[in-house]
Amino acid sequence: MSFLRISEGKFNVCPAKVDNKDYFCICNGLLSSAGYNPKEEEPLYTVGTNASRIDRLMSVKSLMDELTGKSS
């Protein structure tokens, strides 16, 4: 379950977990891009402000494997 920290330092359930028609959770899209629940959640791909530095496209799973040293 995803939680959001509110101003008092307490946590609330992410509204996207309860209602994904009116709310969008970036975590779900990124996890879907990595192969988790791709049939239930639309994959999300993003490059942010560094798009001009991209020299190749790769899957989220491949990127995470590379970052954690699991790539071959």
Q: What is the mean pLDDT of each run of 10 residues along the chain (72 residues)?
A: 63 73 77 79 79 84 85 66
Residue 63 pLDDT: 82
Residue 16 pLDDT: 75
DSSP category for residue 53: G
Q: CA-to-CA distance for 39 and 63, rounded, in angstroms?
A: 21
Residue 72 pLDDT: 60
Residues 6+ apart with CB under 8 A from 39: none
